[in-house]
A and B are shown apart, each in its own frame.
Chain A
Amino acid sequence: MIAHPGSGPQAGAGEWSPHEDFSRVFDAHFAEIHRYIARRLDTQTADDLAADTFLIAFRDRERFDPARGGIRPWLYGIATNLLARHRRDEVRRWRALSRTAAGDDQEGPEGAVTARVSAQQVTGRLAGALAGLAKRDRDVVLLLALGDLSHAETAAALGVPYGTVASRLNRARNQLRKALGDVNPLKEALDG
C-alpha cells in the first residue's frame, strides 16, 4: 500500500496495483512464483529467490505499468532474471533429473508390457532436452509450461517482442520433439 508521487495512481477501475497495495500482490502470487522457481531449481533455493522476487518487485514497483503486461508476467520476469544467476545449478538439475527419470523408466517389466506412456515417463527425455537448450529458449518454454503464461505474457515477462518468443519457442519445440523421438508419446499412448 505504497504509492509515490512520481508514480501517480493506477487508474484501472476496480483494479489494485503494486502502487496501492503490495501486500495483496504478495498474497496473490507468492506461492505460484515459489512453485515456478522450485520446479526449476529446488524448494530451498525457491524460498530465497521467491522472497527476492517480491523485494525486487516492491523496490521497482514504480516501473510496473499494467499497459505493458499484467502483474504475473512482471513477477515471472523478475523471477526468471533471478534464475539466470543459477543457470549452472538448473542445468545440473535437469541433467540429474534426466538420469534419474531414465532409470525409473527402466525399472520393472510393467512399463514395457503396458507401453502406457505417461508424462512422467518422458520426464527424463524432456529434462535432458531442457539441459541442452539455450537459456533464452529454456526460459520461454518454461514460462509457458510451468508459469502457464501466454505467448504475449511471456514476451512481456522477458521484455522481448512477441515474434522473438515465437521463434525461440519454435526452436525449443523442435529440440524437445527430437528428444521425444519426433513423436508425441502421449498422443501415441492415447491412440494406442
Chain B
Amino acid sequence: MDEITLLGRAVPDAPPPSPQAVTRARARLTAAERRPAGHRPPGRGSGWTWALACAAATAAVTLAVVFLAGGPAAPSPVTPPTVSSAPSAPSVEPPATYQGLRILRSETSQNTAAKITLRFRPTSAKTAIVLRCSEPGSLVLASEARDDGLSEAYGVCGPDGTRSRFDDKSYEPGWTSRTHTVTFWVFPPDAPILSGRDAHDCDRAACGGKYKLSTESAGAIAARLGERPQPWSVTVYDSPR
C-alpha cells in the first residue's frame, strides 16, 4: 500500500448528500436547462427550443434531440467515409404507446443517409418524438422551417435505450394550433460529421474534411455517403384524445 492509497483511507469519509441538497442542486440545474437563449452559442438564432423525447424502448435504439435555431452553413467537400458493416439490425418498429402517449404519426426508412419528413398536428400539449435507429451511434439531424427561422437539433441514436427527460417543446405557445413539418436525417456513425469540441471550434461549414451537421450540409453528406441499409424510424406520440 502506498501513500496515496493510505491517504484515501485516512481522510475521513463524508456522508452522502442529503436529499434536500440533491433536490436543490437538481432544481438549479433544471432552471439552467430551461433558461433560454442566453446559453446558446453566439451567432445562433433566437428561436424557440424544442426538446424531443428520448425514449426508453426495449431493445430499440432511441434518441433525444433538441431543436435550436440554427443558421445556414455552406457545404464543403468531405472525405468519403469507410463503410461499416451492418450486422443483423434490431427492430425499429415503434411500440404502440410511449409513456402513456399514442402514435400520432410514424415513418420508417430502410436506409441511413436518408431523410424522412413528418407532417403532424398535435392534439395536445404532450407530444413526444422518438427515433429508433438500428445502427448504434447513428447521427440524427432534425429540423423545422418556421416563420421566424430554421430550427435544428442534433442527437445520437444509442443502443442502450437511453432515457432523457421529457422536455418542453410542446409548451411552445400555439403548439397545437398549426401543422408541423419536421425533417429528420439519420447518418451512420462514421459519417464525416464534426462532433464535440471540434464542431464547436470550427467556424466554417466544414473543418478537416468533416461537416458541421446542418440542414444545409445534410444533403451533401448524404450524397457523399450514399444510402446504407440501416433501418430507422421516427414516431410522433401524442396524448390520447
Contact = CB atoms under 8 A, between A and B. Distances in A.
A172 to B, nearest CB: 8
A20 to B, nearest CB: 5
A36 to B, nearest CB: 8
B139 A9 contact: yes
Given A4-B40, A126-B7, A9 B158 contact: no
Nearest to B153: A3
Contact of A2 (B3, B33, B70, B136): B33
B88 to A, nearest CB: 16
Nearest to B139: A9
B193 A11 contact: yes
Given A14-B136, A54-B29, A144 B4 contact: yes
Interface in B65-121: 65-66, 68, 70
A186 B70 CA distance: 60
A113 interface: no
A176 interface: yes
Nearest to B20: A47
A17 B152 CA distance: 19
B174 interface: no
B159 to A, nearest CB: 5
Contact of B193 (A8, A22, A51, A169): A8
A62 B156 CA distance: 15
A12 B137 contact: yes
B219 interface: no
B197 A5 contact: no
B173 interface: no
Contacts of A51: 21, 24-25, 28-29
A145 B5 contact: yes
Given A3-B65, A46-B14, A23 B8 contact: no
A34 B186 CA distance: 38
Interface stretch (A80-88, A116-124, A155-163): A116-124
Interface of B: 1-18, 21-22, 24-26, 28-29, 32-33, 39-41, 44, 49, 51, 54, 64-66, 68, 70, 136-137, 139-140, 152-156, 158-160, 162, 164-165, 167, 189, 193-200, 212-214
8 tightest A-B CB contacts, nearest first = A8-B199, A38-B14, A13-B137, A51-B25, A1-B164, A119-B9, A145-B8, A65-B197
Interface of A: 1-17, 19-24, 26, 30-31, 34-35, 38-39, 43, 46-47, 50-51, 54-55, 58-59, 62-68, 97, 119-120, 122-123, 126-127, 130, 141-142, 144-146, 148, 169, 173, 176-177, 180, 184-187
18 contacts: A1-B167, A2-B49, A5-B154, A6-B199, A6-B200, A8-B196, A9-B213, A11-B195, A13-B158, A26-B29, A31-B17, A47-B17, A47-B24, A54-B29, A58-B32, A58-B33, A63-B197, A145-B5
